[in-house]
Amino acid sequence: MATPIESPSTTVAETDVTDDPEAVTPPTDDLTSDERALLVDNLRYVLDGRWRATRDLVRESADRSDLLPDPSRTLDEARTRILAEMRELAQNGFAAAGFAADHGGSGDVGASITAIEMLGYADLSLMVKAGVQWGLFGGAVENLGTARHHDRYVTAIINLDLLGCFAMTETGHGSNVQALETTATYDAATEEFVIDSPTPSARKDYIGGAAEHAQVAAVFAQLITGGPGEEPSSRGVHCFVVPIRDENGDDLPGVTTSDCGYKGGLAGVDNGRITFDQVRVPAENLLNRYADVEADGTYTSPIENPNRRFFTMLGTLIRGRVSVAATAGAAGRKALTLATRYGLVRKQFEAPEGTDEIVVMDYLAHQRKLLPLIAKSYAIACAQNELTSELHEVQSGSAGSGPDGRPADDSDAGRQRQLESDAAGLKAYATWHASHTINVCREACGGAGYLDENQLSIMRGDIDVFTTFEGDNTVLTQLVGKELLSAYADDVQGLSTAGWVRFVVGMARDVVVEKTAARQVVQTLLEGSDEDTEKSNLTNRGTQIRLFRNREDHLIRTCAQRLRVALDDGNDAFEVFNNAQDHLLKVGRARTERVVLEAFIQAINDCDSRSAAEVLGKVCDLFVYSALESDLSWFLMHRQVSVERAKAIRRGVNELCTELRPHARSLVDAFGVPEELLGAAMLSNG
């Protein structure tokens, strides 16, 4: 990958000259304004990744302050406004990329996700609403449906002639999707499915679009059918297209929708509830890519194992999860841009000599609040780019499924599985980071940060639910750990926790620590570093990777061992699992952090600009040092770092903050948040 022409983009340079708050304070770095603009361009090139053209298109079209959330809107007004914005997006062809060319789209999954991510710079309600329509609902039709659904629905979904919602979660079941209670019973007499909510807890809940706008729902329900002479039985969760509203917006017969009302944020998204009372839909409304019901009620599926079938279906839907992770990254970057810019104009307490007060960004405590979060945001952005790219590859067919809907071969199945685990891990890691970051940014701006006119408080409310929707972060992190410990074994999915423990304990010991092959750059760096991490300099990239890898390996090994010993001692398998749950979660976190680091290193390695790579190297060091610092007790307890090195790590964070302080503005400028979306009174009030 090549960086752009090594000359400053004039647009960026001009913006900076007229608008740079640092211009009013003595310059704190040695770069000329041209050099700085060039640095920003090159940093942005790295961050923007493969779909940088898409990013620039969205930047250009979204550079409008009227896209920002307006807290004075009523709930109704906010919802209406977001729908209007979505229609505008549709008119501009925003959604086509997410659907295959032969279904009526333009077939660029990566561009589709990147475009949705960029909405995170404008309004998270818009992103969620768009994500529901095109990512979740559209994605279900696209990935679980067949030609009859694609022909009938996809164009209408793209241009918003058909508004849909994604009715998976129920009042009683969120994380445990296999236990959903809604039923879809096949009636051979009429060749229909009867959709029903048998209990109060079967009510579909928190469904974006269900309160007002959605005309149809992709309903996840237990499919109940039997062939001739066969007792009807449940075949597990499948997805059905169910109309819920007529043209006037009234509930169709048997459908009862209601409104979730006010929420902690995302005012523009009309979350609602749906219950079904024996609602009949034609048999063809079953999204039948992975399973079908013949006219006589006979159930067929190319995937025999019900658990495998279920998880294959779910697996095609990870686009939503990937988009959520990506958008959280964008939201965090925007918050850091606002807080850093404020930190560069806000002064408080007099300088030691003279009457002028000190810019708060010059305080170590303030640097320590913001700079490590900026560093982590860089690392996450690079990992996100890789994840989006991998999803693109897998879903674009090169590593796709065979004609029967099953992965073409085992290596593809493994790749899909790996992708799902990486998506789960990064979704949790990135959304927790975003939620924490926006909170810290709000605090770093004091009272100003609490005023909606400065956006951070709105973003804080909006981002909050990202940590628990599209997969609860704790459950997802645990999933990563479970996959690692059971070496992605197929038969593990769908096992109870106790069953999973028994499986892991029965596994061959060495399978457990197997890992995906290291990429070339990582291999090279590892080879160039001492196996004894204490002997290498801590800024040695190979040593950094080694520390992260050693932690992951150690945690996996000891977790497996712990389960084995506990079960051998005759303990109840659930208790064995439960007592090790924090250990398992730590496995998941350590794994994801290692993946994030290696992606960041790859991106730096691919960067052709020496000055940008140099700054990125410092940013990477700060990411590593602060990651080590926040888990220092583990490294010390497991003698992975010495006490002396631990102290050096704490000092190192401070030193790196000081070194990166002059680049603070450049680092956030490189995020490329459109200027109009950074409207905040505090940035002009000082």
Of 226-265, binders to its own copies (CB under 8 A) are 260-265
Under the binding rule (CB under 8 A), the answer on residue 507 touching its own copies is no
Name which of 202 and 318 has its Cβ closer to its own copies.
202
Name which of 81 and 541 has its Cβ closer to its own copies.
81
**Positions in 523-542 near its own copies (CB under 8 A):** none
Under the binding rule (CB under 8 A), the answer on residue 202 touching its own copies is no
C-alpha dihedral over 334, 338, 344, 347, to 10 degrees?
Answer: -150
Name which of 481 and 672 has its Cβ closer to its own copies.
481
Interface pick for its own copies out of 349, 403, 510, 532 (rule CB under 8 A): 349
Under the binding rule (CB under 8 A), the answer on residue 376 touching its own copies is no
Q: CA 141 to CA 248: how far, in whole Å? A: 24
Rg (CA), the chain: 26
Interface pick for its own copies out of 27, 93, 249, 446 (rule CB under 8 A): 446
Interface pick for its own copies out of 585, 587, 597, 619 (rule CB under 8 A): 585
Under the binding rule (CB under 8 A), the answer on residue 647 touching its own copies is yes
Of the candidate spans 22-30, 231-239, 418-426, 579-587, the one that interacts with its own copies by CB under 8 A turns out to be 579-587
Interface pick for its own copies out of 402, 528, 579, 675 (rule CB under 8 A): 579
Q: CA 220 to CA 44: how far, in whole Å? A: 41
Under the binding rule (CB under 8 A), the answer on residue 77 touching its own copies is no
**Positions in 267-326 near its own copies (CB under 8 A):** none
Under the binding rule (CB under 8 A), the answer on residue 208 touching its own copies is no
Write out the two tokens for 645: 């090195």
Q: Three-class SS of residue 194?
A: strand
Cα angle 43-665-659, degrees, rounded to a multiple of 5: 85
Residues that contact its own copies, how many (by CB under 8 A): 86
Under the binding rule (CB under 8 A), the answer on residue 81 touching its own copies is no
CB of 274 to its own copies, least distance (A): 14
Q: CA 121 to CA 366: how far, in whole Å? A: 24
Helix (H) or strand (E) holding 164: strand 164-167
Name which of 149 and 427 has its Cβ closer to its own copies.
427
- Residue 234, beta-bridge partner list: 224
Of the candidate spans 18-26, 57-65, 354-362, 412-420, the one that interacts with its own copies by CB under 8 A turns out to be 354-362
Q: CA 444 to CA 299: how far, in whole Å? A: 58
Under the binding rule (CB under 8 A), the answer on residue 152 touching its own copies is no
Under the binding rule (CB under 8 A), the answer on residue 201 touching its own copies is yes
CB of 341 to its own copies, least distance (A): 16
- Number of Cβ atoms within 10 Å of the Cβ of 84: 10
* Under 8 Å between Cβ of 555 and 588: no
CB of 383 to its own copies, least distance (A): 22
Q: CA 545 to CA 374: how far, in whole Å? A: 20
- Number of Cβ atoms within 10 Å of the Cβ of 634: 16
Closest CA to 119 of 324, 396, 270, 271: 324
Tell me how far apart the terminal alpha carbons of the chain are, to the nearest angstrom: 41
Write out the two tokens for 241: 């297209």
Catalytic residue among 22, 170, 470, 552: 470
Tell me whether residue 575 is one of the annotated catalytic residues: no
Taking the CA atoms of 349, 355, 359 and 363 in sequence, report the sign of the dihedral they define: negative
CB of 78 to its own copies, least distance (A): 12
Integer angstrom CA distances of residue 561 from 243, 608, 635: 51, 45, 19
Q: Three-class SS of residue 480?
A: helix
Under the binding rule (CB under 8 A), the answer on residue 197 touching its own copies is no
Of the candidate spans 139-147, 287-295, 314-322, 447-455, the one that interacts with its own copies by CB under 8 A turns out to be 447-455
Interface pick for its own copies out of 344, 458, 607, 668 (rule CB under 8 A): 458
Under the binding rule (CB under 8 A), the answer on residue 461 touching its own copies is yes
Under the binding rule (CB under 8 A), the answer on residue 574 touching its own copies is yes
Give the CB-side neighbour count of residue 226, counting CA atoms within 13 A.
7
* Under 8 Å between Cβ of 291 and 393: no
* Under 8 Å between Cβ of 167 and 217: yes
> Per-residue contact track with its own copies, 419 to 438, x per CB under 8 A?
----------------x---
Under the binding rule (CB under 8 A), the answer on residue 362 touching its own copies is yes
Under the binding rule (CB under 8 A), the answer on residue 442 touching its own copies is yes
Closest CA to 35 of 610, 645, 536: 610
Closest CA to 605 of 680, 532, 665, 521: 521
CB of 626 to its own copies, least distance (A): 12
Name which of 97 and 132 has its Cβ closer to its own copies.
132
- Residue 206, beta-bridge partner list: none
Write out the two tokens for 73: 């809107």
Q: CA 686 to CA 676: how far, in whole Å? A: 18
Under the binding rule (CB under 8 A), the answer on residue 198 touching its own copies is no
Name which of 250 and 572 has its Cβ closer to its own copies.
572
* Under 8 Å between Cβ of 140 and 186: no
> Which residue, chain included where needed, has tokens 């003595």?
26
Interface pick for its own copies out of 172, 226, 414, 662 (rule CB under 8 A): 172
Of the candidate spans 388-396, 459-467, 485-493, 617-625, the one that interacts with its own copies by CB under 8 A turns out to be 459-467
**Positions in 52-71 near its own copies (CB under 8 A):** 71
Of the candidate spans 150-158, 389-397, 628-636, 668-676, the one that interacts with its own copies by CB under 8 A turns out to be 628-636
C-alpha dihedral over 266, 270, 272, 274, to 10 degrees?
Answer: -140
Closest CA to 682 of 457, 460, 463, 447: 447
Name which of 252 and 636 has its Cβ closer to its own copies.
636
> Which residue, chain included where needed, has tokens 């599926």?
301
Name which of 256 and 439 has its Cβ closer to its own copies.
439
Interface pick for its own copies out of 174, 227, 243, 414 (rule CB under 8 A): 174
Name which of 315 and 588 has its Cβ closer to its own copies.
588
Q: Which residues are catalytic?
A: 470
